[in-house]
Amino acid sequence: MFSYDLAHWVTFVAAVILLEISPGPDMAFYLGHTVRGGIRNGMTALSGVWFGVFGHILLAVSGLSAILAASAMAFSVVKWAGVLYLVWLGIQSLRSTGGSLDEDAAIPQASRWRIFRQGALIDLLNPKVALFFLAFLPQFVVPGSGPIWAQLLFHGIVLMVVSVIIQPPIVLLSGLVTRKLRSSNAFAKWLDRSLGALLLALAAKLALTER
Protein backbone atom coordinates (compact mmCIF):
# COMPACT_ATOMS: atom_id res chain seq x y z
CA MET A 1 0.00 0.00 0.00
CA PHE A 2 1.23 3.51 -0.91
CA SER A 3 4.09 2.13 -2.97
CA TYR A 4 5.50 4.99 -5.05
CA ASP A 5 8.87 5.46 -6.72
CA LEU A 6 11.17 8.46 -6.33
CA ALA A 7 10.08 10.00 -9.64
CA HIS A 8 6.49 10.02 -8.40
CA TRP A 9 7.36 11.95 -5.25
CA VAL A 10 9.69 14.37 -7.03
CA THR A 11 6.94 15.21 -9.51
CA PHE A 12 4.23 15.58 -6.87
CA VAL A 13 6.25 17.63 -4.38
CA ALA A 14 7.64 19.88 -7.14
CA ALA A 15 4.11 20.53 -8.41
CA VAL A 16 2.87 21.35 -4.90
CA ILE A 17 5.79 23.70 -4.20
CA LEU A 18 5.14 25.60 -7.42
CA LEU A 19 1.47 25.86 -6.51
CA GLU A 20 2.29 27.17 -3.02
CA ILE A 21 4.68 29.91 -4.15
CA SER A 22 2.59 31.03 -7.11
CA PRO A 23 0.56 34.20 -6.42
CA GLY A 24 -3.15 33.53 -6.18
CA PRO A 25 -6.30 34.44 -4.22
CA ASP A 26 -5.23 32.50 -1.10
CA MET A 27 -1.79 34.12 -0.97
CA ALA A 28 -3.30 37.54 -1.61
CA PHE A 29 -5.71 37.01 1.29
CA TYR A 30 -3.24 35.92 3.97
CA LEU A 31 -0.53 38.36 2.88
CA GLY A 32 -3.10 41.16 2.87
CA HIS A 33 -3.93 40.42 6.50
CA THR A 34 -0.23 40.06 7.36
CA VAL A 35 0.60 43.48 5.95
CA ARG A 36 -2.53 45.00 7.50
CA GLY A 37 -2.40 43.46 10.98
CA GLY A 38 0.91 41.72 11.54
CA ILE A 39 2.26 38.19 11.70
CA ARG A 40 -0.38 36.84 14.07
CA ASN A 41 -3.19 38.06 11.84
CA GLY A 42 -1.41 36.64 8.81
CA MET A 43 -0.99 33.24 10.45
CA THR A 44 -4.63 33.28 11.50
CA ALA A 45 -5.70 34.03 7.92
CA LEU A 46 -3.36 31.30 6.66
CA SER A 47 -4.82 28.81 9.15
CA GLY A 48 -8.28 29.60 7.83
CA VAL A 49 -7.10 29.00 4.28
CA TRP A 50 -5.57 25.66 5.35
CA PHE A 51 -8.89 24.66 6.91
CA GLY A 52 -10.68 25.47 3.66
CA VAL A 53 -8.11 23.63 1.56
CA PHE A 54 -8.36 20.51 3.71
CA GLY A 55 -12.13 20.72 3.43
CA HIS A 56 -11.79 20.66 -0.36
CA ILE A 57 -9.43 17.68 -0.12
CA LEU A 58 -12.04 15.78 1.89
CA LEU A 59 -14.71 16.76 -0.64
CA ALA A 60 -12.54 15.49 -3.50
CA VAL A 61 -11.85 12.24 -1.64
CA SER A 62 -15.54 11.69 -0.91
CA GLY A 63 -16.50 12.48 -4.50
CA LEU A 64 -18.71 15.43 -3.59
CA SER A 65 -16.62 17.76 -5.73
CA ALA A 66 -17.75 15.76 -8.72
CA ILE A 67 -21.25 17.13 -8.10
CA LEU A 68 -19.93 20.65 -8.73
CA ALA A 69 -18.31 19.48 -11.94
CA ALA A 70 -21.47 17.74 -13.15
CA SER A 71 -24.20 20.09 -11.96
CA ALA A 72 -24.43 23.61 -13.35
CA MET A 73 -26.96 24.54 -10.66
CA ALA A 74 -24.76 23.36 -7.77
CA PHE A 75 -21.75 25.16 -9.25
CA SER A 76 -23.71 28.40 -9.65
CA VAL A 77 -25.14 28.30 -6.12
CA VAL A 78 -21.70 27.85 -4.53
CA LYS A 79 -20.10 30.40 -6.85
CA TRP A 80 -22.59 33.19 -6.18
CA ALA A 81 -22.56 32.52 -2.45
CA GLY A 82 -18.80 33.04 -2.61
CA VAL A 83 -19.16 36.20 -4.71
CA LEU A 84 -21.65 37.76 -2.28
CA TYR A 85 -19.45 36.90 0.70
CA LEU A 86 -16.37 38.46 -0.91
CA VAL A 87 -18.33 41.60 -1.85
CA TRP A 88 -19.55 41.92 1.74
CA LEU A 89 -16.00 41.57 3.10
CA GLY A 90 -14.69 44.05 0.54
CA ILE A 91 -17.27 46.68 1.48
CA GLN A 92 -16.48 46.18 5.17
CA SER A 93 -12.78 46.84 4.50
CA LEU A 94 -13.49 49.87 2.30
CA ARG A 95 -15.57 51.40 5.09
CA SER A 96 -12.83 50.90 7.70
CA THR A 97 -11.38 53.99 9.35
CA GLY A 98 -7.88 52.53 9.65
CA GLY A 99 -6.10 52.79 12.98
CA SER A 100 -2.54 52.33 14.22
CA LEU A 101 -1.50 48.68 14.15
CA ASP A 102 2.06 48.58 15.43
CA GLU A 103 1.18 45.87 18.01
CA ASP A 104 -0.67 42.94 16.50
CA ALA A 105 -0.76 41.26 19.92
CA ALA A 106 -3.40 43.77 20.99
CA ILE A 107 -5.93 42.48 18.45
CA PRO A 108 -8.85 40.75 20.23
CA GLN A 109 -9.20 36.99 19.96
CA ALA A 110 -12.68 37.49 18.47
CA SER A 111 -11.14 39.43 15.58
CA ARG A 112 -8.71 36.61 14.90
CA TRP A 113 -11.57 34.11 14.87
CA ARG A 114 -13.33 36.33 12.31
CA ILE A 115 -10.22 36.36 10.13
CA PHE A 116 -9.90 32.57 10.42
CA ARG A 117 -13.55 32.16 9.45
CA GLN A 118 -13.11 34.48 6.47
CA GLY A 119 -10.13 32.49 5.18
CA ALA A 120 -11.99 29.20 5.51
CA LEU A 121 -15.17 30.44 3.86
CA ILE A 122 -13.38 32.21 1.01
CA ASP A 123 -11.75 28.90 0.15
CA LEU A 124 -14.74 26.65 0.76
CA LEU A 125 -17.09 28.88 -1.26
CA ASN A 126 -14.81 28.85 -4.30
CA PRO A 127 -15.97 26.02 -6.62
CA LYS A 128 -12.86 26.54 -8.73
CA VAL A 129 -10.75 25.20 -5.85
CA ALA A 130 -12.99 22.15 -5.54
CA LEU A 131 -12.62 21.42 -9.25
CA PHE A 132 -8.86 21.93 -9.03
CA PHE A 133 -8.43 19.25 -6.39
CA LEU A 134 -10.78 16.97 -8.27
CA ALA A 135 -8.50 17.30 -11.31
CA PHE A 136 -5.11 17.51 -9.55
CA LEU A 137 -5.08 14.73 -6.97
CA PRO A 138 -6.26 11.86 -9.25
CA GLN A 139 -3.22 12.41 -11.48
CA PHE A 140 -1.08 10.86 -8.75
CA VAL A 141 -3.17 7.76 -8.14
CA VAL A 142 -1.11 4.65 -8.95
CA PRO A 143 -2.96 1.39 -9.73
CA GLY A 144 -2.16 -1.28 -7.17
CA SER A 145 -0.89 1.16 -4.54
CA GLY A 146 -4.04 1.06 -2.44
CA PRO A 147 -7.69 2.13 -2.55
CA ILE A 148 -8.26 5.24 -4.65
CA TRP A 149 -9.84 7.16 -1.78
CA ALA A 150 -6.89 6.35 0.49
CA GLN A 151 -4.36 7.48 -2.13
CA LEU A 152 -6.25 10.73 -2.70
CA LEU A 153 -6.39 11.44 1.04
CA PHE A 154 -2.72 10.53 1.52
CA HIS A 155 -1.59 12.88 -1.25
CA GLY A 156 -3.88 15.57 0.13
CA ILE A 157 -2.25 15.25 3.55
CA VAL A 158 1.21 15.44 2.00
CA LEU A 159 0.10 18.59 0.17
CA MET A 160 -0.98 20.11 3.48
CA VAL A 161 2.37 19.20 5.09
CA VAL A 162 4.26 20.94 2.27
CA SER A 163 2.01 23.98 2.71
CA VAL A 164 2.76 24.10 6.45
CA ILE A 165 6.49 24.10 5.67
CA ILE A 166 6.47 26.70 2.87
CA GLN A 167 3.81 29.29 3.65
CA PRO A 168 4.55 30.40 7.25
CA PRO A 169 8.01 31.78 6.33
CA ILE A 170 6.32 33.89 3.65
CA VAL A 171 3.98 35.32 6.30
CA LEU A 172 6.87 35.87 8.71
CA LEU A 173 8.99 37.75 6.17
CA SER A 174 6.08 39.89 5.05
CA GLY A 175 5.19 40.75 8.65
CA LEU A 176 8.75 41.72 9.56
CA VAL A 177 9.19 43.88 6.46
CA THR A 178 6.00 45.88 7.09
CA ARG A 179 6.09 46.08 10.92
CA LYS A 180 7.15 49.73 11.19
CA LEU A 181 4.75 50.89 8.52
CA ARG A 182 1.76 49.65 10.53
CA SER A 183 2.28 52.37 13.17
CA SER A 184 0.93 54.91 10.65
CA ASN A 185 -2.83 55.50 10.80
CA ALA A 186 -2.82 56.78 7.21
CA PHE A 187 -0.97 53.68 6.03
CA ALA A 188 -3.38 51.42 7.94
CA LYS A 189 -6.33 53.17 6.29
CA TRP A 190 -4.69 52.74 2.86
CA LEU A 191 -4.16 49.04 3.62
CA ASP A 192 -7.84 48.66 4.52
CA ARG A 193 -8.84 50.25 1.22
CA SER A 194 -6.38 48.04 -0.64
CA LEU A 195 -7.66 44.89 1.07
CA GLY A 196 -11.23 45.90 0.25
CA ALA A 197 -10.34 46.49 -3.40
CA LEU A 198 -8.55 43.13 -3.50
CA LEU A 199 -11.57 41.28 -2.09
CA LEU A 200 -13.89 42.98 -4.60
CA ALA A 201 -11.49 42.03 -7.41
CA LEU A 202 -11.55 38.41 -6.22
CA ALA A 203 -15.35 38.58 -6.18
CA ALA A 204 -15.36 39.82 -9.78
CA LYS A 205 -12.93 37.12 -10.85
CA LEU A 206 -15.05 34.44 -9.17
CA ALA A 207 -18.23 35.84 -10.75
CA LEU A 208 -16.64 35.43 -14.20
CA THR A 209 -15.58 31.85 -13.48
CA GLU A 210 -17.21 29.21 -15.65
CA ARG A 211 -17.36 25.47 -15.06
Look up the pTM and report it: 0.73
Contacts for 51 with CB less than 8 Å, ≥ 6 apart: 116, 119, 120, 123
Task: Identify the pLDDT of residue 191.
Answer: 65
Task: Identify the pLDDT of residue 116.
Answer: 94
Q: How confident is the model at residue 109 (pLDDT cuts 50, 70, 90)?
A: low
Instruction: Tell me the one-letter amino acid at 197.
Output: A
Q: Is 175 domain-assigned?
A: yes
Helical segments of the chain, H only: 6-21, 25-37, 39-62, 65-70, 72-94, 109-124, 127-136, 148-177, 185-207
Q: First-to-last CA distance in the chain?
A: 34
**Contact criterion met (CB below 8 Å) for 105 and 34:** no
Q: Report the C-alpha gap between 145 and 8 in whole angstroms.
A: 12
Q: What is the pLDDT of residues 48-84, one digit of tens each?
A: 999 999 999 998 888 766 766 677 776 777 778 778 8
What's the domain range around 173? 25-207
Q: Is 16 domain-assigned?
A: no
Q: What is the pLDDT of residues 143-173, one digit of tens each?
A: 888 888 888 899 999 999 999 999 999 999 9
Q: Is 203 domain-assigned?
A: yes
Q: Is 5 domain-assigned?
A: no
Q: Is 11 domain-assigned?
A: no
Q: How confident is the model at residue 103 (pLDDT cuts 50, 70, 90)?
A: very low
Q: Is the pLDDT of residue 87 over 80?
A: yes
Q: Report the C-alpha gap between 169 and 152 in whole angstroms.
A: 27
Identify which of 42, 45, 25 has the alpha carbon closest to the alpha carbon of residue 176.
42
Q: Is the pLDDT of residue 46 over 70?
A: yes
Q: Domain tally for the chain?
A: 1
| Angle made by CA atoms 140, 144, 150, in degrees to the nearest 5 | 60
Q: Is 15 domain-assigned?
A: no
Q: Is 68 domain-assigned?
A: yes
Q: Is 91 domain-assigned?
A: yes
